[in-house]
Amino acid sequence: MNFDYNEEQQLLADSVRRFMQKDYAFEARRKIVDSAEGHSEKVWGTFAEMGLTGIPFSPDYGGFGGGAVDLMSVMEAFGEGLVVEPYLATLLGARCVARAGSDAQKKAILPQVVEGKLKMAFAFSEKGARYDLAHVAAAAKKSGGGWTLEGEKVVVLGAPSAAKIVASAKSPAGLSLFLVDTKAVKMKPYRTLDEMRAADVMLSGSAAELLGAEGKALPVIEAVVDFATALVCAEAVGAMKFACDTTLEYLKTRKQFGVPIGTFQALQHRMVDMVVAYEQAKSMACLACSKVDGVADARERAHAVSAAKIKIADNARLISQEAIQLHGGMGMSEELKVSHSFRRLTMIAQQFGDADHHLERFASA
C-alpha cells in the first residue's frame, strides 16, 4: 500500500505545475481560449518536450510505457490549471491505435504523437446514442483496398485540431474502428461550455483504414473509454482542488459585517463538506487509475471505473456549485477562474457517462 506518487511521477507533476504557474496562468489561458485555434501550439510543443505526449506509449515508439497512474498527476495538474489543449483527445485516439492497430499503423502514428507532431481525436459518439458505445449508425463499406465511411459523429473533442481521427462504424462484420484523415471529413467545429474545441464530424464517403480486427471493436472502445474516464476523474480532482483552494482563500479574505466571511459557521461547514467531498473523489480517482490498465478482467475494471465516475460526477457537482455559492455574486462572474472551474467540472460530470449511466453499469458489473 502506497498512495504516494513515485519520484518520477512527482518530478513530472512538479514540472507541469511549475509550467502552469509560469506560462498557463488565468490570463494566458484566456488568450489561448480566445485564439482562433483555441489551443496553443507553443504550449503543445512544451508538453511534448516535457515528455507528456509520450507517457502512456511503448518505448518502441519513443514513449515511456507508463499507465493511467503515471498520467494521474499530470491530469490533476491540468485540472487545476483548466488546460484546454487537446491532450486527452490525442491520447485517446492514439490509445486506440496502440491497442488495436497493426505494427505498421503503430509505427506510422505513435512516434508522431509522442513527438508532439500529431494531434488526434476519438469519434465514438453519435446522436441519440447518449452513452451507449455500441449504438453506432455510421457505416463502413469496402472500397478498393480500403474502406469508406458514411455517417455522423458528434461532440468529437479535439477534432478541429486533429490530423487523424479514430472513428467507430458498423462494417459487415459488426462494430469496427477506423483511422480517418481529417482532410477526408467535413466538420462543424465549436467551443464547448468548458472552453475546449470539439466538432460534429460528417463522414460522407470518407476514405478510412481499418484499425484492428473487423467486427471486434467493442471491447477496445470500452477499454479506451474506461481509460478516458479514469483520466477525467483525475482531472476533475485537480479542478476540485482548485475550486476548494480558491474558495477557502476567498472565505479568509472577503469581509462582510466587518469580519472575514470564513468566520461564519454556516459557511465553514459548507467549506468542510467541499473538502471532504474532494478527498472522497480523490480516493476514487486513485482506484480508477490503478485499475484501468492494470486489470485484465473487463468486469472488474468496469466496476471500479463506474464507481469512481459516480463519485466524481456527484462530488464535481457539489463542489462546483458550492464554490460559486460561497463566492457570492463574484462567483458568477466570468472574470474569476472559479466560474471556469464550474464549467469544466459540470462538463466532466457529463463526459464518458454521467452518474446515472454509471449507476446502471456499476449495478450490472
Partner 1 sequence: MDLNYSQEELAFRDQVGGWLKANLPADLRDKIASYEELTREDLLRWHGLLAKQGWVAPSWPKEWGGTGWSVVQRYIFEEECGYAGTPPLIPFGLSMCGPVLLRFGSDEQKKKFLPRIYNGEDFWCQGYSEPGSGSDLASLKTKAARNGDHYVVNGQKTWTTLGHYADWIFCLVRTDPGAAKRQEGISFLLIDMKSPGITVRPLILMDGGHEVNEVFFDDVKVPLGNLVHKEGEGWTVAKYLLGHERMNTGRIGASKRELAKLKEFAAKQKKGGKSLLEDPRFRDRLSRLEVELMALEITNLRFLDRMRRTGQPPGADVSMLKIKGTEIQQGLTELMMQAVGPLAQPFKTVNGDAGFDEFTAAIAPRYCNFRKTTIYAGSNEIQRNIIAKMTLGL
Residues within the interface to partner 1 (CB under 8 A): 1-6, 9, 69, 72, 248, 251-252, 262-263, 265, 268-269, 271-273, 275-276, 279-284, 286-287, 289-290, 307, 310-311, 314, 356, 359-360, 362-363
Strands 146-157, 174-181: pairing is unpaired
Closest to partner 1 by CB, 88 or 237? 237
Quick check: 217 and 124 in contact, CB under 8 A?
A: no
Please report, for residues 109, 161, 296, 298, the alpha-carbon distance to residue 211 in angstroms, rounded to integers and kept in the order given. Answer: 12, 21, 21, 21
Query: Which neighbouring-strand residues pair with 187?
Result: 201
Contacts of 184 (CB under 8 A, 6+ apart): 206, 207, 208
Which lies closer to partner 1 via its Cβ, residue 184 or residue 248? 248
**Shortest CB 324 distance to partner 1, Å:** 19
Q: Which is nearer to partner 1, 149 or 348 (CB)?
A: 348
Quick one: 2 or 22, whose CB is closer to partner 1? 2
**Strand extents, DSSP E, 212-271:** 255-256, 259-260
C-alpha cell read off for 115: 513527438
Q: How far is the CB of 243 from partner 1 (least distance, A)?
A: 14
Q: What is the dihedral of CA 240, 244, 246, 251, to 10 degrees?
A: 160
Shortest approach of partner 1 to residue 194 CB, angstroms?
24
Q: For residue 289, which of 230, 218, 339 has the smallest C-alpha distance?
A: 230
Name the minimum Å distance from CB 285 to partner 1: 10
Shortest gap between Cβ of 287 and partner 1 (angstroms)?
6
C-alpha cell at 69: 497512474
CA distance 199 to 202: 9
Closest CB to partner 1 among residues 157, 302: 302
d(CA 71, CA 237): 13
Residue 65 CB, shortest distance to partner 1, in Å, is 16
d(CA 95, CA 84): 19
Closest C-alpha among 106, 116, 129 to residue 179 = 106
Min dist CB 170 to partner 1, Å, is 29
Report CA 171 to chain centroid distance, whole Å.
28
Nearer to partner 1, 180 or 287 (CB): 287
Work out how close the CB of 359 gets to partner 1 at its nearest, in angstroms, rounded to a whole number. Answer: 5
By C-beta, is 204 or 268 nearer to partner 1?
A: 268
Pick between residue 140 and residue 338 the one whose CB is nearest to partner 1.
338
Element (H, E) at 356: helix 355-364
Based on CB atoms, which residue is closest to partner 1, 239 or 308? 308
Cα–Cα distance, 301 to 323 (Å, whole number): 32
Q: Measured from the CB of residue 358, what is the shortest distance to partner 1 in angstroms?
A: 9
Q: For residue 42, how many other CB atoms are within 10 A of its CB?
A: 10
